[in-house]
Amino acid sequence: MTQTDIATWSGEIYQKLLRHRVRQVAYVPDAGHLHLIERCIESREMVSVPLTTEEEGVALLAGAWLGGDRGVLLMQSSGVGNCLNMLSLPRVCEMPLVMLVTMRGECGEFNPWQIPMGRNTEKLLTTAGVLTFPVDESGRLEEVVDSAMRKAFEGPSAVAVLISQRILGVKNFGK
Amino acid sequence: MDSERSKHYPLYRRQVVARLLRDRGDMLVVAGLGASAWDITAAGDDPLNFPLWGAMGGAVPMGLGLALSQPGRRVLVVTGDGEMLMGLGSLATVALQSPANLGIVVLDNEHYGETGMQSTHTAGNADLAAMAIAAGFPVCDTVWDDAGLEAALPLIRNGKAPVFLNIKIRAETPPLVLPPKQGVVLKNRFRLALLGAEE
């Protein structure tokens, strides 16, 4: 997967966010979201909100929904654990939540510290009542993000698209 | 740690919140879990109140999302010292966005009120207003008495930048006044009152 490929699917996801009238984009950065975050920051249709921890984003987007805005939360899988208690908010209130999660800790992971969260990301989200949509082919990403957002905003439901390291490439710290 | 001093602070939480919400107009209000949620309810339940029953640490970021979505409306977050301490990073997140329509009021009694009145860090040396300044809030203050509260009210109502007020209140346990508990009810009535019937 080259930077050009990542820029291509990031552009496709950005178009889907526009199509679904997403206005607030909350994020804790990840290298896999680099291009998408840049597109959202430049966007005149969106407000980009960098967070200090991912759970802030869950609460932020609940407030956004109360006020009539749609949002998405961008993060890497290690941030999912930070969100667990806060996920009770969209669940109890039946509010939409869209999480786009770039995976770490999968096959080929260089950093063993990423494995405990990475290996349990989907299980934890499912336990917390979030519908998961794993994707491991870049060609399917646009379609899956589209159907996940439809599910979230029409449900309303909490959903997470899990973007595999197969799509992102493996970070190896130059080794 | 001094767990006794806040038993002598002159301001009472229910009176403070009643003053904050008197003549609230169309202000949108989010309250952190526990006593702050009971306080806004005691001042008069309102569809444009969103009292949290959980999601500790989430009141301020929730207020931020609401303020960004409704730039034409005043948004007030009312929360406690324990709830604020759990989400301190969110002060930096708010300060970065700097929504002019957002006010944050912490009712600081230096205790966890729902769990047996254990001391919080503010009974020690933690200073929440100083933390808000350090996070980048342009307008911050600690309020100790009626005069300070009266002086701060215009900032909450008409401030031109995000406002953070730490209000030192007496450690006491007023009677429970509970808002609706069902999250779906709270959400639906808020959205209906603010946005009208769904398309």
Mean pLDDT of B132-142: 97
Say yes or no to pLDDT of A172 above 70.
no
Give me the DSSP letters along A4-64: HHHHHHHHHHHHHHHHTTEEEEEE---GGGHHHHHHHHH-SS-EEEE-SSHHHHHHHHHHH
* pLDDT tier for residue B108 given thresholds of 50, 70 and 90: very high
- CB pairs below 8 Å between A and B: how many? 119
Tokens of A99: 């999480």
Amino acid A25: pLDDT: 98
Which residue is closest to B135 within chain A, CA to CA?
A52
- B106 confidence band (pLDDT: 50, 70, 90): very high
| Distance from the B42 Cα atom to the nearest Cα atom in chain A, whole angstroms | 22
- Interface with A, mutate which of B68, B74, B96, B182 (most A CBs under 10 A): B68
Q: Which residue has the higher pLDDT, A4 or B6?
A: B6
Is residue A109 pLDDT above 90, yes or no? no
Taking CA–CA distances from B47, the nearest residue in chain A reads A66
Question: In angstroms, what separates the C-alpha of A58 from chain B's closest C-alpha?
Answer: 8
The answer to whether the CB of B100 falls within 8 A of the CB of A97 is no
Mean pLDDT of B66-86: 98
Tabulate helix, strand, coil % of chain A (nearest 5).
55, 20, 25
Report chain B residues whose CB lies below 8 A from the CB of A69.
65, 68-69
pLDDT of residue A173: 58
For residue A175, pLDDT beyond 60: no
Q: Which domains does chain B have, with CATH numbers?
A: 5-191 (3.40.50.970)
Map out the domains of chain A as residue ranges: 3-168
- The reported pLDDT for the residue numbered A1 is 61
| The listed CATH number (3.40.190.10, 3.40.50.970, 3.30.420.40, 3.20.20.70) that belongs to domain A3-168 | 3.40.50.970
Chain B residues 144-173 with a CB less than 8 Å from chain A: none
Mean pLDDT of B188-192: 98
Chain-chain contact of A94 with B66 (C-beta, under 8 angstroms) = no
pLDDT in tens, A122-152: 999 999 999 999 999 999 999 999 999 999 9
- Chain A residue numbers with beta carbons less than 8 Å from the beta carbon of B55 are 59, 62, 85-86, 88-89
